[in-house]
A and B are shown apart, each in its own frame.
Chain A
Amino acid sequence: MERIPILKVGQYLLITIQVDLHDKMILALQDELTNMIVKTGARGILIDISALEIVDSFIGRVLAQVASCAKLLDAETVVTGMRPAVAITMVELGISMKGVHTALNAEDGMELLNDILHRDEYAHDFSAIN
């Protein structure tokens, strides 16, 4: 089975989904990713889906689950590069990916992750002072 590579960059894990997703592939990705978060202590996950032509309810659900899992393991998830036609279709289909951050492209996604993590650090510092 083809695997989706997970790259570690600093405190982030990067995943670019380049191929059509088979169900087994995305479930394997979910497994591997949660293990990687724990192993590397990654604080952010960036999943780029700009190559995906469709996101059906199954893929949408798994992406949302990945984000919830990551959150429980103290990591934030950003999904980037969604095509406009995919966004329109997802809304009509009724998929809402609650808890998943999105950004227009990978670069914006990295910036968003930086912002979120720094905000967290700030909040930690603040609560330490008080």
Chain B
Amino acid sequence: MLIKASVKRISALLGFSLVNQTKIITAAAELSRNALIYADQGKFKISVLDDTRRKGLQMIFSDSGPGIENIEQAMKDGYTSGHGMGLGLGGSKRLMDEFDIKSAIGVGTTISVTKWV
């Protein structure tokens, strides 16, 4: 819930439209839920990107959970190994502009997503 509040505040300050704010907050909810379901805990980092032409918001979710064996499969809609609906990863990718996932078995998973204003 703390994540949601900070994401909302920062995305509003950056000037995202209401629809895009909603998409970003929803992606944050999906990805933090993933980390909670599969790893019990995780780290969340939010950054403002500014490459002189445009501004963006980047969120990084990292956990030290079991890791994902088959990322391609995990990205598919409807695939879930836990209690989710299996939309978290693929859905978040659609809601954001950039999506990057790194995972190692036994080490954990780091997901980085970005949306540009």
Partners in one complex: yes
For the complex, count residues of A whose C-beta is within 8 A of B: 20
List which B26-68 residues lie within 8 A (CB) of chain A: 26, 29-30, 33
Say yes or no: A57 contacts B88, CB within 8 Å: yes
Looking at chain B's contact residues, is the secondary structure mostly helix, strand, loop, or mixed?
Answer: helix
Q: Is A22 an interface residue (CB 8 A)?
A: yes
0/1 per residue, B1-40, Cβ < 8 Å to A?
Answer: 1001000100000000011011101100110010000000
Known A22-B1, A53-B8, A89-B19; judge A95-B95 contact (CB<8 A): no
Say yes or no: A56 contacts B94, CB within 8 Å: no
Say yes or no: B22 contacts A56, CB within 8 Å: no
Chain A neighbourhood of B108, CB < 8 A: none
Chain A neighbourhood of B85, CB < 8 A: 57-58, 60-61, 95
Say yes or no: B25 contacts A92, CB within 8 Å: no
